[in-house]
Chains A and B, each alone.
Chain A
Amino acid sequence: MPFPAGDTLLILPELFLTAAASFVLLWATFVSRPRERGLAFFSIGALAATGLLLFVSARMAGTLPRSAFGGMFAMDRFGLYFKGILLLVGIVTILFSLRFISVSPYPGGEYYGLILFSTVGMLFMASGTHLASIVVALELMALSQYVLAGYFKRETKSLEASAKYFVLGAFSSGVLIYGISLVYGAAGTLSLAGIATAFTTAKPPAFLVIGIIFVGCGMFFKIASAPFHVWAPDVYEGAPTPISAFFAVGPKLAAYAIFARIFFVGFGPRAGDWSAIIAASAALTMVVGNVGALMQTNVKRLLGYSSIGHAGYALLGLLAYGDASGIGLWSILVYLLAYAFMNLGAFGLVILLESKGYAGESVDDFNGLAAKNPWLAAAMLVFLLSLAGIPPTAGFVGKYFLFSAAMKAGWFWLSLLAVLMSAVSLFYYFRIARAMYLVEGEGTLHWREEPAVSAAIALCAAGTLAMGILPGPFVQFARTCLLPFGP
């Protein structure tokens, strides 16, 4: 079946990034180690150019949403919203990696190539409207990431993170695909719109519920929510830190994009079957993540647990599927943007403090940061306040709308639990703040030692504060990026 030329125009940004990623991979074999910075800058340029192309192709596509390739791919504002953030995450990750990779004994070429490939996968995930295209995109992202997690292949921790991530990731993909096969049997189609129609018109067979549960389990794995969260702290601790930052934000955002698309559009008519499961997982995730973080002394591990907690908060938005104003969805969109800024920023500080390779990532490393460099300490304080959800920061805005969405949907006990767990989270976030401001430390830290990382941190801090002080435009924008709710 031939496709109209206009369809290719819609995936032009992704095609361009694929070509750029292949080019980086090839170029990497010809370039000597001291010149690898060129590859990094080229990758940043490619990501920025993809953003530009995204804008151009959205303009040329005319009225959105537009569907392409027989319903495999959709260009809509929901996807574009995610793509914009994901490209930003890619750029920030590479900025974080510049020096980190150049002082490590490992070559940088494949590293940047893999980040780009993984970003391509995430972009396609944000636009996938067919279970086949979603799964292929998901695997493109995941396969690149298994390698990235174990990139420091002579470090036991990194390799172990990679092995664990691979086993659990591949297992969850298997469960997801098995669930999809059952859904296919029940609905007779793999396209999300078709599935929604099939479920509204006919009474589906009983095994559909099992299929939906398996798809849900696969999704819970990908966003690292309980009871499928065990891999997250291990992987975040073991992987090279810029990659941990990437993992904590990029794949999670992309997974939320497909989670929302599959469950709102495809399984929307069957919301009664899945809302209780999501509520149970949300409750468990918030408790496990926040209580688990209390005991941690390794900051990467602590942020891993805290990101589990955050995945739990964002699940609350999915529960408000039925609200006509779409608050369930746009509160997730707002929250994920806030989450991207504050989590990348916090990981950026960890990268900055890591003197060399793997050394130093405990809370004690933050001792006396305020005296060493007040600006960096202030930035970290902003991120911590935001992660804990205290105004005037982005985290507060995100949580406020999520919790009110859950209230509106009638989940009072869950909102209450979420507020309670936010209070618990204050303890561990403020342990870092205390170390920075009240404990004496040694040595100095000048931002000029790491200009790229400092610039990225400044960007994240600016974003966190801007969203916190002036949430209006962000919320308004997110409200225009909703999905058509299933029939």
Chain B
Amino acid sequence: MIGVTHYVALSFLLFAIGVTGVLIRRNLLTVLMSIELILNAANLNLIAFSRQLGDLNGQLFAVFVITLAAGEAAIGLAIIISMYRLKGSVNLDDASELKG
């Protein structure tokens, strides 16, 4: 029997992968994907808890989070494109003018 604990464990795994991706990957596109992974980990949690609690608020919030993720992807890709145009690279390590 698969219970809420399994979902929370899976979501924690997704969250951990996402955080690792943000921290160690330098390619902006990969970082963006890792962030989406974190958001989807939260969605999985929300929906699992919503089912367990018999409360619709969690699912409602998950829909909001999906929308926010879409907005974030749009802005993120726009930034990545302008960066590629300017520098010919989407690597965070090439963005190193600001330091100190």
Contact = CB atoms under 8 A, between A and B. Distances in A.
Given A132-B61, A295-B100, 19 more contacts: A135-B64, A143-B71, A159-B86, A160-B95, A162-B79, A163-B28, A164-B95, A164-B98, A170-B76, A173-B68, A174-B18, A174-B38, A178-B38, A184-B45, A184-B49, A184-B50, A185-B53, A189-B57, A190-B58
B42 A178 contact: yes
Contact of B98 (A131, A178, A238): A238
A143 B78 CA distance: 12
Residue of A171, A178, A238 with most chain B CB atoms under a 10 A cut-off: A178
B92 interface: yes
B100 A301 contact: yes
Nearest to B28: A163
A233 B100 contact: yes
A188 B53 CA distance: 6
A156 B87 contact: yes
A21 interface: no
A156 B97 contact: yes
Interface string B10-41: 01000100110010000010011001001101
B89 to A, nearest CB: 11
A179 to B, nearest CB: 8
Given A132-B57, A181-B46, A171 B92 contact: no
B94 to A, nearest CB: 9
Interface of B: 4, 8, 11, 15, 18-19, 22, 28, 31-32, 35, 38-39, 41-43, 45-46, 48-50, 52-53, 55, 57-58, 60-61, 64-65, 68, 71-72, 75-76, 78-80, 82-83, 86-87, 92, 95-100
A143 B38 contact: no
Interface in A148-185: 150, 153-154, 156-157, 159-164, 166-167, 170-171, 173-175, 177-178, 180-182, 184-185
Nearest to B47: A181
22 contacts: A132-B64, A146-B76, A146-B79, A159-B95, A166-B76, A167-B28, A170-B72, A175-B19, A178-B15, A178-B45, A180-B42, A180-B61, A181-B11, A181-B45, A181-B46, A181-B49, A184-B49, A184-B50, A185-B48, A185-B53, A234-B98, A298-B100
Interface residues on A, range: 35 or more
Interface in A248-297: 295-296
Interface in A380-437: none
Contacts of A132: 57, 60-61, 64
A184 B46 contact: yes
